[in-house]
Amino acid sequence: MSCFSFLKVIMIIFNFLIFLCGAALLGVGIWVSVDGPSFLKIFGPVSASAMQFVNVGYFLIAAGCALLVLGFLGCYGAQKESKCLLLTFFSILLIIFIAEIAAAVVALVYTTMAENLLGTLVVPVIKKDYGKQSDITQIWNSTMDGLNCCGFNNYTDFEGSPFYQTDHLFPTPCCGNYTTPCTAEQASKASVRGCFDQLLKDIRTNAEVVGGVAAGFGAFELAAMVVAMYLYCKLDKA
């Protein structure tokens, strides 16, 4: 088997697996969007703490669609030896790779800016829907239980929320020792860390694992781009 044929087969197999992963993510994303509480009951705090600042369902749907498109372009493009599809696959993967690098740089350099931006988006949702919307309430409860944190910044994020307006109390995780009821005085004395700060702390604690996973994805993307461009150039000479 020639090098071209071998890489073509590898390209087809790996992109078919990516296509299947995309289909699975899309299915899970639709499930979460339709029946989020059941998803949280099955997977518990992990599902919420992994992505507590975005809509998990929509994120999974978007990621699933992206993987479906990439998998199809890479698999079908290699199978049919289509220069157009291979070049499109390479271009999309290159854009994603550059975006990931840019996001990593922004996350490292502009952490405070990112916190302020997320705060302006997340805190109003807490004040508006926590205690009224069951899915948002359950996601935040699971997040706070899983990360041992309180709100986005601290317990004051819940002031004015439907939950707070009922009895002027805060969620029990805000008191640290899970005292019931959790009053403003107890919450201020507990000084429980906000979920954003706690998430950053956990990421820094597991920096080697996070960096290894990121490096693995980056290496895979680079390898896929190299193979796609190799096949494209070989077809160009054929």
For the segment 51-98, what is each residue's pLDDT rounded down to a tens digit?
A: 444 466 777 788 888 889 988 998 888 888 888 888 899 998 898 888
Q: How far apart are CA 88 and CA 75, in angstroms?
A: 12
pLDDT at residue 220, rounded to an integer: 84
- For the segment 139-155, the average pLDDT, to the nearest whole number, is 86
pLDDT at residue 7, rounded to an integer: 85
CB-count exposure of residue 90 (10 Å: 0-12, 13-18, 19+):
buried
- For the segment 112-136, the average pLDDT, to the nearest whole number, is 80
pLDDT at residue 52, rounded to an integer: 46
pLDDT at residue 51, rounded to an integer: 46
